Structure 1
Amino acid sequence: MITMPRILLVGLAAIFSAYHVVLGLYSLAVPPSPWPSVVAMALYGAATALSLAPSASIRMPLAMAAGNLGVSTVGLILVLTQLDPRVDNGYATWIIGAVGTLMTITVVRQRPWFAWGGIAIMILTVLLWSRDILELPALGVIGGPIWVGVAHATTVAIVRASRDARLFERAEQRAAEWHAQEEAEFFERRVRLGQMNRLVEPMLRRIVTSNGRLSDEDRQECLHLEAAMRDEIRGRRLLDDAVRREALAARRRGVEVTLLDDGGIDDLDRLEHARVTAVIAKEIGESTADRVVVRTAHHDEEVAVTIVGLRAAGPGEGTDPADEAQLDLWMEVPRLGDPAAAADPPRSKEPGAE
């Protein structure tokens, strides 16, 4: 989108460029034939209009910069070859100022080498035409290099300032992200500590009041609470109040419960996450396996969570180490589902089991 300052600058450049064309039209009677000057005006006007036209990038296309250089060279030849350097030509040498203006526009559009090349060609052409270096200031040759030099320095300063502004913006964005991450981690730690405090506070009070003399049941309960604390670290989004409650109840029944969240369900929305954790809580609560492992799948898979139930082999079921644990439950909870599927998700037990 073009802003007001850019429109103002483009307008000033257009007016200043048109001024040279007006001077050329005013002095058409000076050269023997006006048509070379008219052609030079047409080329100059077209090059200027293209250079000032709105574009997606401020940097001038390479072909346009080369075209400006060619227009400057051809315009100088067309106009100066029609003039006598030994007489006062007045405004008939308008092409010298026009080339300086076109090269200033070129350097502002971030093509400095083409701009300085055009200035060098202008100076060399005027020297060959006038054959007197002292005539350069009177012909207006000095103004072109000055304008291009000022524009070049200003453009470099603006580009550097813009680059520094982008660097500062990225640094500020990273600082804001770091601050947000720190706040999120602080909030997460506070929530986890609050949950653990509510969970283990009764047992800690019992340990204090009994001076550390605990019964076997209390010691076993401490192991269950330790596993629950480990769930908070490794289980992350696999947990909600229902999953915590069913996992603790399963451990008290003697089931070994392992919850592993590898980040595969971080992108689920609130409803889908609630559906998945409801299935996890239901299966842990109803499981008859000796060990239940719940693990998230990869984030780009259709499966959100895999639930595996293992049952120890009974007496006489074999002595092979491969038979020490038998598959009792295998379930894949889909990442996306409808309410009917959420109520009774697809499940499978070991092959051949009914």
Structure 2
Amino acid sequence: MIAPTRAIVLALAGLFSAYHLVLAVYSIGTPSSPWPVFAAMILYAVVSVMSLWPRSPLTMPVWLAALNVAVSIVMSILVFSQLDGRIANGYATWSVAAVGTLMTITAVRHRAVFAWLGVIGLAVCVVVWANPLALTTTGVIGSAVWVAVAHALSRALAQASRDTQLFARAELDAAAWRATQEAQLTEGRYRLDNMNRVAGPMLHRIVDLGGDISAEEREECLHLEGAIRDEIRGRYLLNEDVRTEVLAARRRGIEVTLLDDGGLDDLSERARDRIQSRIARTISRSRSDRLIVRTGVDSSTAAVTVVGLKVGDDPGASVLGAGGDDDEVAEWLEIPKEASPG
């Protein structure tokens, strides 16, 4: 679809271009022979239609701009060759205004260099045909003014378009920055509220006791620290059931690690609920020493992988930092992204 504004401009330009052909027909009796004038009219009509074609891009192709310049010179030669430059020819010099119109269209379509070449070629043809004084009587100066105005307006509109794009981009950047700041603020408030919910009672107890807490309470602090860490790394792996079962597993002595690498981001809320419920049941039944719950990669059919490990019997391994070398897999579960049939 053509924009209404552009359609109106093209229609007006088409009517103005056609007006020169009307003048040519009106004054067809003035030239010595009408046939060169008819040829000039056909050439002018063809390039005008090509230059004003509605589906063409705003920037005129180089080949079309060069064709316009060539046609303007050929048209001037055809018309002037049939006129006497020593007398006033009236509307028979319609080709001067026609060339000015064609070059104005060329300038508007961002080919100002070619437009000025066309005006210079027209001026040379007029001077050779008559004399320099004819530049003022045939309308060459007026054609040059049209091209100058079109050139200036084209540059101004191009600059305005660039400024508009810059402002639009700046607005998008500002909106993105604001959204980021609001998201960070919301996330920060959520983390603080969650920390207060999870660790608040224990922190108040520590303050009330002056830091003199029992070994069981110190152990519980470690569990609460793990719960806070889960909120950061677990993301969509967590719901209230999973949080409850993870805390219960840690109290049973199981080391639980939750890692959400984004594998659940594109799943529906219903699919996440199904996966989270399965995770909670698996953790509640686990008797492993270590549990690792991690989301799958995008190309995997598994949404979540649960691995349970039995720690090796070497008591010095963990002290020496070699824990995991003798661990063996005791549990392995892959929870698919799609619910199984039935």
Common topology (TM > 0.5)? yes
1:338 paired to 2:329? no
Letter of the 2:10 partner, please give it. Answer: V
CA contact (8 A) 1:262 1:295 kept: yes
Contact 2:10–2:54 (Cα < 8 Å) also in 1: no
Match of 1:119 in 2: 119
Alignment of 1:201-240 (within 5 A): 201-240=200-239
Superposed CA deviations along residues 124-179 of structure 1, whole A, max 9, x for unmatched, are 2222222x212211011111111111111111111111111111111111211221
- Paired with 2:54 and 2:147, the residues of 1 have a C-alpha distance of 21
1:96 and 2:96 equivalent? yes
Separation (CA, whole Å) in 1 of partners of 2:274 and 2:70: 70
1:198/1:35 Cα in 2 relative to 1: closer, same or farther (>3 Å)? same
**Which residue is 1:193 aligned to?**
192
The 10-residue stretch of structure 1 (119-128 or 297-306) with the greater mean CA deviation from structure 2: 297-306
Q: Percent identity?
A: 50
C-alpha distance in 2 between matches for 1:255 and 1:116 = 84
Contact 2:126 / 2:134 at 8 angstroms: preserved in 1?
Answer: no
Amino acid at match of 1:73: I
Matching residue of 2:69:
69
Matched, 1:289 2:291: no
Identify the residue that residue 328 of structure 2 maps to in structure 1: 326
Counterpart-to-counterpart distance in 1, 2:300 and 2:121:
64
Instruction: Give the conservation status (yes or no) of the 8 Å contact 1:265–1:299.
Output: no
| Equivalence map 1:242-257=2 (5 Å) | 242-257=241-256
Summarize deviations over 1:264-302 as a string: whole Å, max 9, x none. 332223222223322322222222211111223333543
Match of 1:48 in 2: 48
The answer (yes or no) to whether the contact 1:60–1:110 under 8 Å persists in 2 is yes
Q: Which letter maps to 1:92? A: A
Matched with 1:352 is: none
Shift of 1:21: 0.8
Return the alpha-carbon distance in structure 2 between the equivalents of residues 329 and 155 of structure 1: 72
Report if the CA contact (8 A) 2:7-2:54 is conserved.
Answer: no
Check whether the contact 1:68–1:102 (CA below 8 A) recurs between aligned residues.
yes
The answer to whether the 8 A contact 2:312-2:324 is kept is no
The aligned amino acid for 1:88 is: A
Deviation of residue 262 (structure 1)? 2.5
Q: CA deviation at 1:55?
A: 1.9
More displaced stretch, 154-163 vs 191-200: 191-200
Shift of 1:2: 2.8
User: CA separation of 1:188/1:321 partners in 2, compared to 1, >3 Å: closer, same or farther?
Assistant: closer
The residue identity in structure 2 corresponding to 1:109 is R
Q: Tell me if 1:275 matches 2:277.
A: no
| d(CA) in 2 for partners of 1:13, 1:210 | 89
TM-score, normalised with respect to structure 2: 0.91
Where do 5+ consecutive residues of structure 2 fail to align? none
How many residues get paired? 337
8 A contact 2:311–2:324 mirrored in 1: no
Q: CA RMSD in A?
A: 2.2
SS state of the match for residue 142, structure 1? helix
Is residue 293–residue 308 contact of structure 1 (8 Å, CA) maintained in 2? yes
Q: CA deviation at 1:192?
A: 2.4
The one-letter code matched in structure 1 to 2:50 is: L
**What code does the residue aligned with 2:259 have?**
L
Quick check: 135-144 or 82-91, which moved more? 82-91
Q: CA deviation at 1:195?
A: 2.1
CA contact (8 A) 2:305 2:335 kept: yes
What residue number does 1:349 align with? none
Query: Post-superposition shift, 1:305?
Result: 2.6
Going from structure 1 to structure 2, the CA distance change for 1:169 and 1:315 (only over 3 Å counts) comes to: closer
Q: 1:62/1:305 Cα in 2 relative to 1: closer, same or farther (>3 Å)? A: farther
Structure 1, unaligned stretches of length 5 or more? 342-354
- Do residues 309 (structure 1) and 308 (structure 2) align? yes
Whichever residue aligns with residue 125 of structure 1, its letter is: C
